[in-house]
Amino acid sequence: LTDEARVDPYDPAQGKRNIMISLFYPIKRSACMQTSQVPYMPPKTTAFLDAGLAQYRIPRIFGSIKLQICTEVVEEASKDVGKFPVVLLSPGLTFTRHQYNAMAQKLASTGYAVVTIDHAFETIIVEYPDGTHTTGKPPTHWDPQDKEKHEALLSTRAEDARFVLTQLGDLNVVKKLVPGATFPFSIDKAAIFGHSFGGTTAISTLMRDSRFVGAINIDGSQYGPLYDTTHPVLLFGRGEPSPRNRSNNPTWQPLWAHLKGWKKEVNLKNCEHTTFCDTPLLTKLSGMQSMPVMEKMLGTIDGERAFEVVMGIVIAFMDKALKGVESSGL
């Protein structure tokens, strides 16, 4: 998607802001004529991330993982795709949207249209349909002590999310995503969640745009201006032995006071910051043996169990925020 109204502040060529997205939506099993296994990530992204693992002497896993998806549906199946509530997913700082594909697929399977977003020139690599790609600035560029730099990036990310939601309300755009769609998505009641700086983005976007009615911040510090909101908000942090929560994260304490509606904090034990993406699940499914460097990155919690717990809570929250369904999961 191209935002013709914005010049990309991070593009050396000063081009318009381009945003790559992935859309996951549910199809009834009876309406799916063919399933296929497709690469978990596109090739250049796979090479980038597997090379990153190799630096730590961790086996390359991303190239061996496949996603099973429906690749052929009965003619009627996609006409009413716009009926599904929209949830946006914003990745962590420099993370690619593809590192959350399994999470997005799991959430979509429970009745949501889930859109994952890449934030160009920050995401480690973004591949485009024409074969070109952009690479992001190195992680060292995003000094966590540089408040001004982070707040500027946060504004850009929030505008990305708001633009994507607006585009999903345009039938011409939706038809490019889902050929055969007969009406667009409803964009007056959406939700957003994210991991790390993506969680920061989720809260900031909720506070800036009334079309968002719920947000989850998963293990992300909160930068930028804070405004009161009456919409439900979930803060998802870490428990022992590596706690990060409202009691020791100084950015969550002032945020809490601005949450005037339903709010809750939950914490996952035996995890680390990178537990909150697909990687723990992928390492478990690939049969990779535990090693100290992996435990430092992902914690000691079983990868499959971590995925089940995190997604169970995310799904329960979305059911509450978008469907008005209360769940014991919260």
* pLDDT(92) > 90: yes
User: Residue 138: pLDDT band by 50, 70, 90 thresholds?
Assistant: confident
Q: Is the pTM of this model over 0.85?
A: yes
Give residue 116's pLDDT: 99
pLDDT in tens, 22-58: 999 999 999 999 999 999 999 999 999 999 888 878 8
pLDDT in tens, 281-324: 999 998 887 788 889 999 999 999 999 999 999 999 999 999 99
114 close to 318: Cβ distance less than 8 angstroms:
no
Give residue 197's pLDDT: 97
Q: Please report the domains of the chain, with CATH numbers, ordered by start residue.
A: 2-27+81-323 (3.40.50.1820)
Among 46-60, 90-104, 245-259, 302-316, the least confident range: 46-60
User: Residue 254: pLDDT band by 50, 70, 90 thresholds?
Assistant: very high
Q: What percent of the chain has pLDDT over 70?
A: 100
pLDDT in tens, 145-186: 899 999 999 999 999 999 999 999 999 999 999 999 999 999
Q: Please provide the average confidence, as pLDDT, over all residues in the chain.
A: 95
Task: Please state the rounded mean pLDDT for residues 206-218.
Answer: 99
Q: What percent of the chain has pLDDT over 90?
A: 88
Task: Please state the rounded mean pLDDT for residues 61-78.
Answer: 91
Give residue 55's pLDDT: 82
Give residue 58's pLDDT: 82
